[in-house]
Amino acid sequence: MSQNAASQAVLDTLIIGAGPTGLSCGIEAQRAGLRFLIVEKGALVDSIRRFPTNMVFFSTAENLELGGIPFPSAHPRPTRQEALQYYRRVCEYFRLPVRLYTPVTAVVRDGELFRVHTATGEEFHTRTVIVATGYFDQPNPLGVPGEELPHVTHYYTEPYGYVHTRVAVIGGRNSAVETALELYRHNARVFLIHRRAQLGESVKYWLKPDIENRIRRGEIHAFFETVVEEIQPRRIRLRELPTGRQFWLEVDFVIAHTGYRPNAELLRSMGIRLDPHTLIPAYDPDTFETNVPGLYVAGSVVCGCETWNVFIENGRAHAVPIIEDIRLRYCPAAAP
C-alpha cells in the first residue's frame, strides 16, 4: 500500500508509539482483524535504543516477551542490545505496519472519526486512537540557572566521552547509580548528588552494595540531602538541605537523572484530562479508554509522573483489554 493510500484509508485504530506497548497493541489489533497503523516519532523502540549502551534489564526475558514469541537471552537478565534485536524481530515476524520518524502533531475529532496530523504532512483518518508514547522524551527539569548549558544532559549512553573528567551525577535511583558506577570504572571522577538521605529502595540488588562500597571508600563522592542551585561552566553551586549551607563544586559535566514525564501538552491538545499534580490521564481502568470516547492510553503514559508504576512487564498487558474494547464497541464487524 502506498503512503498516500494508507493516509486516505479509514483505519480501525491508529497506535501512536512503537515501543513494546505499542507493538503489543499492534499484535493484538492484527489478531482481532483490525485495520491499523503504528506511527512513531523516532526509531523502532526508540526509548530502549537511547538507553545506556551497557544497560541490563531488571526483568527476566520472559517478562519482556510480546505475542508469545520467546525472548532468547544469553544472560539471566537481557541486555539493551538483546532487547533491540528481539523487538525488531517481533515486528518483522508479525509484519506490523509501522511508520517510523513520523511525529504526531495533532489528534482532532472529526464526527465519528479522528484526524491524526503528522510533522511529515500526512493525515490519517481512524475510528480510534491508542496513545502509547511513554515518557522518555520529557525529562523533569532541574529548574535552575544554567540547566540549558551544553555540558548538561538528562541522558547517558556510554562512558568514553567522560574519561579523565569530573562528572556530577544527579539522582539516587537506578539510572544515577548505574551511570556513576560505569563512569567510575572508566576513570572519571564522579560526584553523586541526591536530595534524599539515602539511595532509592528500588536500586537493583546487585548494584546497591557496589555503589555503597564505592562511596564508603571515597571512590565516588556522594552528597546526600543536597540539591543543585546553579550550574556554570566548570562548576555547580550546591545547597545542603539540613543546614542551608551553600558551596561550589568544580565539575566538567552534569548528568541529571531527574526522571521523566509524559508529553502533557500533546495529551491535553487531544482533549484528555490530566491530574494537575501527577499528570495521570483520566481513563477507565478496565478498558483504558480516556474521557475522550475512542481515545485510549496504554503503557507507561497512564502513570503520569509516577513512572515507577508501569514498566514493559505490565504495560504490554494493556493491549488485550484495549483491543477487545475497540473490537466490540467501535469495530463490531471485525473478526474475533
Non-local CB neighbours of 333 within 8 Å, separated by 6+ positions: none
Reported as a single tens digit per residue, the pLDDT across 60-100 is 999 999 999 999 999 889 999 999 999 999 999 999 999 99
pLDDT, position 2: 43
Reported as a single tens digit per residue, the pLDDT across 263-303 is 999 999 999 999 999 999 999 999 999 999 999 999 999 99
Non-local CB neighbours of 181 within 8 Å, separated by 6+ positions: 207, 210, 211, 214, 220
| pLDDT grade for 1, boundaries at 50, 70 and 90 | very low
Over residues 178-193, the mean pLDDT reads 97
Which CATH number fits the domain 3-138+260-329, given the four candidates 3.40.228.10, 3.40.50.300, 3.90.79.10, 3.50.50.60? 3.50.50.60
pLDDT, position 294: 97
280 and 274 Cβ atoms separated by less than 8 Å = yes
CATH architecture of 152-256: 3-Layer(bba) Sandwich (3.50)
Select from 240, 237, 235, 210 the least CA-distant residue to 224: 240
pLDDT, position 7: 55
Quick check: 308 pLDDT over 90?
no
Over residues 207-226, the mean pLDDT reads 96
* Residue extents of the structural domains in the chain: 3-138+260-329, 152-256
The vertex-245 CA angle with 251 and 255, nearest 5°, equals 30
Residue 68, sorted as left (phi over 0), alpha (psi -120 to 50) or beta, turns out to be: left
The vertex-89 CA angle with 84 and 95, nearest 5°, equals 130
Task: Please state, in angstroms and rounded to a whole number, the distance separating the CA atoms of residues 227 and 210.
Answer: 23
pLDDT, position 3: 47
Task: Please give the distance of CA 127 from its chain centroid, rounded to a whole number.
Answer: 26
295 and 287 Cβ atoms separated by less than 8 Å = no
| pLDDT grade for 307, boundaries at 50, 70 and 90 | confident
Reported as a single tens digit per residue, the pLDDT across 14-48 is 999 999 999 999 999 999 999 999 999 999 999 99
DSSP state of 318: G
Tell me if the pTM is above 0.75.
Answer: yes
| Mean per-residue pLDDT of the chain | 94
Reported as a single tens digit per residue, the pLDDT across 146-176 is 999 999 999 999 999 999 999 999 999 999 9
